[in-house]
Amino acid sequence: MIGIELSLNKKIENLKKQLKIYFTVEDSIAAENGNNECQLNVGLALCNKGNYIKGKYFLEHAMKKNDIAKCIVAEMEYYGIASDINKQKAFSLLSEAKKNGEIAANCLLGIIYYNGDIVKQNYEKSVSLFTMIPDTCIYSRTANFYLYKCYKYGRGVYMDIEKANNLLNKLKQKTHINDRNGFPIEEQIDKLISILDPEFITPKERYKTEFTIFQDELNKIKDTYKQNKFLKAPKFAQNIIQLNNI
């Protein structure tokens, strides 16, 4: 029976990794008690659901030790999400994160140079910053979106329609569930692609499908525990919180 329990626990852990939009009561308590990783994960998950005020609360606590959280808070300040627009504060937070070696800061700094906010507009500088963002970064899709515009319209680089189209195709590819799908810039990207490609399935639509699969798998695991009363369900299976209930 121990083998069954270990197998189920492994399945649950895999599900948690696949779909970080979920968090548990324990995650929330840990975040409130100062667990930096939980503060980041809970804050980002809440923002992806559209609960920006609660999300920002956790992210502002997380950014004391986490520069990714600092970048997300800077994004919220820049676009006026859950607060008034404060581009100077955004620039300050991003400069600090970049100084600490956080590569994600380059994307939003690139947007600032692209738009000419706070600093003099400099497309060449923005392109340089966008190209520093690796595909594994949560800002990779945003960086590729701006690079697409740069190559399509010849901003900071020679116009290259083929490269622009390659970047557009890259934007259509599946992104991680936790990659800021609830933020306005992501919705702007989805809107553009949907106009250019009516068959495009947005990350939010993909999420609904994956959410259903996740829930079905979790329910199967819960049923196994109910049928085998000798097994004690882990807290995650007992206590799951769905963000649509928050």
How much helix, strand and coil, in percent to the nearest 5, is found in the chain? Answer: 65, 0, 30
* Pairwise CA distance, residues 49 & 176, whole Å: 15
Q: At residue 12, what are phi and psi to the nearest 5 degrees? A: -65, -45
Q: With H, G, I as helix, E, B as strand and everything else as coil, classify residue 24.
A: strand
Cα(107)–Cα(192) distance, rounded to whole angstroms?
A: 19
Give strand pairing partners of 241: 23
Mean pLDDT, 10 residues at a time, over the chain (246 residues)?
Answer: 53 55 65 85 80 90 93 93 93 96 95 93 97 90 92 95 91 61 74 71 61 64 61 48 36
Indicate the burial class of 50 (C-beta count within 10 angstroms; 0-12, 13-18, 19 or more): exposed
